Structure 1
Amino acid sequence: MLVFVYGTLTDPERVATVLEIDPPDAAAAFAGRATLEGLHRVDGRYPTLAPGGSVDGRLLAVDDAGLERLDRYEGVESGLYVRVAVPVVSRSDDRRGESSRTADDRCWVYVGEPDRLGVDATWPGTEPFRDRVDGVVSRTDIAVRRLE
């Protein structure tokens, strides 16, 4: 499965540590460059995302064990970050004029809770943070665009 990363996890050494793999093998975990459209990066104690704009990053290819390690690193259990599924499109989709996406064309994205990270990032609504993020992702054209 794929994970879009835009902060500390774009560094191969950090990926090697988090995924518990040998540093030379960390480069193999990267599945190319990508742009997340519909969300932009906001820097604070750790980077997070907010609605609007775009952010460049990389795609990581991980298995279930790797995803569990990433969840621990991102503090998902404690609510520091939430993990959401976002559609993935490629450049070839642009050339064909296609906009259809299936569940198989999704990747995971981590979004940090702004109050806990001390950043000014507004997510509309009054629901719990996870629900606000899920709502924005489901109602807008947020997508990860493969660049390679």
Structure 2
Amino acid sequence: MDVFVYGTLTEHTTAKAVLDEYEYRCSAELVGLHRIDGRYPTLGPGGTTAGRILETPDIESLDEYEGVDRGLYYRQSIPRADASDTVACYIGDPDAVNAPTDWPGDGSFQRRVERFCSQNDVVVRTT
């Protein structure tokens, strides 16, 4: 699976400690979301974020590292700007990671992220 990474996983030392198998594919830009530094890096509505595309079959280890089961991060599928497929992207719940941002709308954090991404044409563009 391809994953857009923008924080600690952009570094080989972190990826190597978390994943048994991975490869950095290329540099990329997430269009429509910007990086926010809280207790852990996360994303907020609007702007752009520089990062990398990481390919790994070990998505369960990434979910564990990102705290998906603990409600820290949610794995969102983001369309590629130049292809018909998607990449995964981990987005931290602002309350859980102590980040100064709000996601518009009502409902769960996951639902607000999904709605914003689809209504605002959020995409990943390779650079």
Secondary structure, in 3 states, of the residue corresponding to 2:71? coil
Query: 1:75 — aligned with what?
Result: 67
Secondary structure, in 3 states, of the residue corresponding to 1:78? coil
Query: 1:2 — aligned with what?
Result: 2
Secondary structure, in 3 states, of the residue corresponding to 2:80? strand
Query: 2:114 — aligned with what?
Result: 134
Secondary structure, in 3 states, of the residue corresponding to 1:89? coil
Query: 2:55 — aligned with what?
Result: 61
Distance 2:45 2:11 in 1: 24
Query: 1:97 — aligned with what?
Result: none
5+ residue gaps, structure 1:
91-100
Asked if residue 115 in structure 1 is aligned to residue 119 in structure 2, the reply is no
Distance 2:75 2:121 in 1: 17
* Deviation, structure 1 residue 117: 1.0
Q: Which digits, 9 at most, give the CA deviation of each residue in 1:2-45, with x for residues without a partner? A: 10000000000100010035xxxx5xx10110000000000011
Q: Which digits, 9 at most, give the CA deviation of each residue in 1:106-141, with x for residues without a partner? A: 000000000111111110122111111111112111
Q: Which has the higher helix share?
A: 1
Distance 2:118 2:68 in 1: 20
Asked if residue 88 in structure 1 is aligned to residue 80 in structure 2, the reply is yes
- TM-score normalised by L of structure 2: 0.95
Q: Which has the higher strand share?
A: 2
Distance 2:96 2:51 in 1: 23
Distance 1:32 1:107 in 2: 13
Deviating beyond 3 angstroms after TM superposition, the runs of 4 or more aligned structure 1 residues are none
Distance 1:44 1:82 in 2: 16
Paired-residue identity, %: 45
5+ residue gaps, structure 2:
none
**Aligned alpha-carbon RMSD (Å):** 1.2
- TM-score normalised by L of structure 1: 0.82
